[in-house]
Amino acid sequence: MGFFKDFKEDFNDALDEMAGAEETPNEEVMVNTLDGDIDVESELNKLDGLLEQVTKKVETPVANKAEANVTVGTPEEKKSFFDTKRETKMEAPRTMDVMGNVAENKTQASDENAVITAGMKITGNVESIGSIEVQGEIVGDVTCNGKLVITGKVNGNSQSSEFFADAAKIEGEVVTSGTAKVGVGSVIIGNITATSAVIAGAVKGDIDVNGPVVVDTSAVVMGNIKSRSVQINNGAVIEGFCSQSYSDVDVNSVFNI
């Protein structure tokens, strides 16, 4: 027995001496590769966990229960579940990116600025990915991703990211995702929809604004105003109802006795 024990020890020592020269580099390579794999897997699991938490907050209790039953199981079942979720999440962003890029191209304003001069009259719809300034006359709808400035005449609906009318004559609905400014001398026959508004001209139509509305002293409004808050300066004329339906205040609770 002593012979075999000594032989085993000598054999192990010989193997150690042969591998001694390459021991450190091999360990470094193994460690770096292993650490990289762990980092990637860990980050993916963290991402899955965060997405699951967000999803559970908006899902119904039944959906939460079903998802919980799926995630609880053996390590193989959990791995299969996370792999499926990752495939879904990797595929969904590609679809969302494509859709997002298309939507962004349609809504993001470029630096272009088209000017319809005072001597021009256009019959037909006008569209631009940039801003439009109308000094002349347009008979048709006007759509732009940027700012729409009208100092002339427009007979048609308009849609833009920001709206400004100065001594303009407009017959049609005005829709903007930003601020609507109606300057002195402007006459608008149509509804206005915006996130905020300053009215100093004449408007015949309803004004629907999610944010604040300022009705200046020179303003004449024939229509209802629905907003978060409204400021009516002395001298303004309003024929219609003012409702702060977008306010955070629960009006009904004030009168509970």
For residue 176, the number of C-alpha atoms closer than 13 Å in the C-beta half-sphere is 26
Residue 176 lies in a domain: yes
pLDDT value at residue 32: 41
Looking at the fold, whether 118 and 81 belong to one and the same domain comes out as no
Same-domain check for residues 132 and 166: yes
For residues 10 and 41, membership in a common domain is answered with yes
Of 71, 91, 107, the domain-final residue: 107
Based on the fold, state whether residues 80 and 186 are members of the same structural domain.
no
Same domain (yes/no): 181, 145: yes
Please check whether residue 255 lies inside any domain of the structure.
no
pLDDT of residue 256: 81
Residue pLDDT, tens place only, 187-243: 999 999 999 999 999 999 999 999 999 999 999 999 999 999 999 999 999 999 999
Tell whether 257 is covered by a domain. no
Is 237 a member of any domain? Answer: yes
Task: Convert the pLDDT of each residue in 65-87 to its tens digit.
Answer: 444 344 445 555 545 544 544 44
Question: 143 and 243: one domain?
Answer: yes
What is the pairing mode between strands 131-134 and 147-150?
Answer: parallel
Q: Which residues of 209-227 are buried (b: 16+ CB within 10 A; e: fewer)?
A: beebbbbbebbbbebbbbb
Domain residues for the domain of 246 are 113-250
The residue to which tokens 């915006």 are assigned: 194
Say yes or no: 97 and 176 in one domain: no
- Residue 3, pLDDT > 90, answer no
User: Which is nearest to 89 in space by CA: 70, 103, 81?
Assistant: 81
Give the whole-angstrom CA distance, residue 143 versus residue 131.
9
Residue 250 has a pLDDT of 82
Contact 199, 183 (CB under 8 A): no
- Do 174 and 48 share a domain, yes or no? no
SS (H, E, C) 147-193: EEEECCEEECCEEECEEEECCCEEECCEEECCEEEECCCCEEECCEE
Same domain, 118 and 96: no
- Which tokens hold the place of 215? 């009705």
Instruction: Establish if 7 belongs to a structural domain.
Output: yes
Domain count, the chain: 2
pTM for the model: 0.59
143: left (phi over 0), alpha (psi -120 to 50) or beta: beta
The Cα 188–Cα 62 span in angstroms is 51
Residues 226 and 212 in one domain: yes
What tens digit of pLDDT does each residue of 124-155 get?
999 999 999 999 999 999 999 999 999 999 99
Are residues 148 and 207 located together in one domain of the fold? yes
Q: Which residue bears the tokens 């000094």?
A: 135
- 9-41 pLDDT, tens digit per residue, is 665 666 566 655 444 444 444 434 334 444 444
